Amino acid sequence: MTLSDLSFDIERDPRWTALCTRDRSANGRFVYSVNTTGVYCRPSCAARRPLPRNVRFHATPDDAERAGFRACRRCHPHQKTQTIRFAIGESSLGLVLVASSDAGLRAVLFGEDAGELVRDLQSRLPDAALAVDAGGEQATLDAVVDCIEAPHLAFDQPLDLQGSSFQKKVWQALRRIPAGTTVSYGELARRLGVPDSARAIAAACAANPLAVAVPCHRVIAADGGLSGYRWGVARKRALLQREARA
């Protein structure tokens, strides 16, 4: 077989399309190796696209390593794909998606469309294997909806917080803000000993993947404004009004 024939075969393979588009949903289904570098990668790897004649596909990382290739240091294809279980339910503030790992609750997302919620989850966890588990996640979903409808109820299920050390520090601080009260971004920065980091605090709040369970809605602007909530000002206002009445 000539190099041109090999390139033609590779380009007709649907896995080549996944590689070219860096399709994150293909992660875990196969890896690809590059003869000229001796490296194998996930389909979503951000490395420069190789020439098709230099590419080989492998079902698993073990297969690639048995063929003599080493794991990419950028996308770490040898690391095991984590399974995230999720379920979607209804609340008075719209649809709610909850997602959990074996360690605890990983995401709570608001939305109006189930498909968009799943895509949002996939974008947040691009290397995870998502699995619908309506039955297994029902208790968690009920606990989250209870917090939405009756904010005086404490959410005491374990959380699997994944972020930078600074983000996790902010998120833990958010959980210490009592229901029915609010703080400004600047005040929260002062409490954490970083008084000049109000913008960084706001960014960490915006990156929070656990609506309600990590109550970033309790942080407001210095002038009392409610802007900056990932899931919309109307939801933020409704949550704060319910907590004020509870």
| Catalytic residue set | 216
CB atoms within 10 A of CB 93: 20
CA distance 78 to 5: 30
For residues 33 and 69, the answer to whether their CB atoms sit within 8 Å is yes
Question: What are the tokens at 222?
Answer: 């210095």
End-to-end Cα distance, the chain: 74
From 177, 170, 135, 137, select the one nearest 154 (Cα to Cα).
Answer: 177
CB atoms within 10 A of CB 117: 21
- Quote the radius of gyration of the chain (alpha carbons, Å): 22
Q: Using N-to-C axis directions, what is the helix angle for 198-206 and 165-175, rounded to 10°?
A: 80
